[in-house]
């Protein structure tokens, strides 16, 4: 048992997502057949047409591109948050079918900043709950019941697929400084990987203040310049060929 660290991988995505989006959008306005339209899009500038779609608010074509992420090192508390984004598909490691002979856990920053003694106490509490779990496993033999004593801090793993429109919405909400810290780190990590794969689509993705005004009113964090600088830093990392590990470090350190 021990503390876990966020790890995100982009497992797969729509091949040529910008071409797919531009083709889908052009189809709405053209009498041409799909084959002819595809040739036109590929020989033209799909990025320019994507910009027109975004500027006009015609967003349904963006839904034809999807991205699948593998996520580890996050808590069951985070799982409860991210599954509220209902236009997504989830496959989650089950506590019913996977026995927790041991489990790793997430340490909140507010506890980590209290020092080593606080972290040791937190770890002791995690081990105690694991002992309770093992005790109920021994008595009942039912993982689906013994899991009830496991903490929200317990690590989970899942795979999630979102279409690009939902991803933009997810980034808009969860990259915001007012989002809860753990899902904000995850959102930044996913954004970094998505922007690397499809920069034309995600170049201005993130919290509302990246490319516009803050919608939070008096609840605003007041850090618009800092958020915009973080987006620029990400672009610098990507232009320099940042590895997955470097992108994870950026997401964890900034968020």
Catalytic residues: 174
Residues 247 and 192 sit within 8 Å (Cβ to Cβ): yes
Are 74 and 186 spatial neighbours (Cβ–Cβ below 8 Å)?
A: yes
Q: Of the candidates 69, 68, 47, which has an alpha carbon nearest to the alpha carbon of residue 198? A: 47
How many CB atoms sit inside 10 A of residue 204's CB? 13
Q: Which three-class secondary structure state does DSSP give residue 168?
A: helix
What's the rounded Cα separation, in Å, for the pair 100 and 188?
Answer: 29
Instruction: For residue 69, give both structure tokens.
Output: 């992420």
Q: Which of 144, 152, 101, 99 is nearest to 125 (CA)?
A: 152
Beta bridge partners of 155: 75
Kindly give, in sequence order, each residue whose CB lies less than 8 Å from that of residue 67, ignoring residues fewer than 6 positions away.
10, 12, 13, 14, 161, 162, 163, 164, 167, 194, 197
């Amino acid at each position: 048992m021990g503390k876990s660290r966020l790890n995100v991988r982009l497992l797969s995505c729509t091949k040529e997502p910008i071409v797919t989006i531009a083709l889908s959008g052009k189809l709405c306005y053209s009498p041409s057949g799909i084959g002819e339209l595809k040739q036109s899009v590929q020989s033209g500038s799909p990025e320019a047409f994507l910009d027109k779609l975004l500027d006009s608010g015609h967003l349904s074509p963006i839904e034809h591109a999807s991205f699948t992420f593998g996520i580890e090192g996050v808590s069951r508390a985070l799982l409860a948050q991210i599954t509220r984004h209902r236009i997504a598909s989830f496959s989650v490691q089950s506590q019913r079918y996977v026995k927790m002979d041991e489990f790793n856990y997430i340490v909140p920053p507010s506890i980590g900043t209290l020092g080593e003694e606080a972290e040791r106490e937190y770890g002791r509490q995690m081990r105690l709950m694991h002992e309770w779990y093992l005790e109920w496993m021994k008595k009942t033999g039912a993982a689906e019941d013994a899991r009830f004593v496991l903490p929200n801090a317990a690590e989970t793993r899942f795979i999630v697929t979102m279409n690009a429109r939902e991803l933009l919405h997810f980034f808009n909400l969860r990259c915001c400084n007012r989002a809860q810290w753990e899902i904000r780190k995850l959102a930044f990590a996913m954004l970094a990987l998505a922007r690397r794969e499809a920069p034309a689509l995600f170049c201005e993705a993130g919290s509302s203040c990246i490319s516009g005004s803050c919608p939070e009113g008096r609840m605003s964090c007041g850090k618009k310049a800092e958020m915009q600088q973080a987006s620029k830093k990400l672009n610098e990392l990507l232009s320099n060929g940042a590895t997955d590990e470097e992108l994870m470090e950026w997401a964890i350190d900034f968020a």
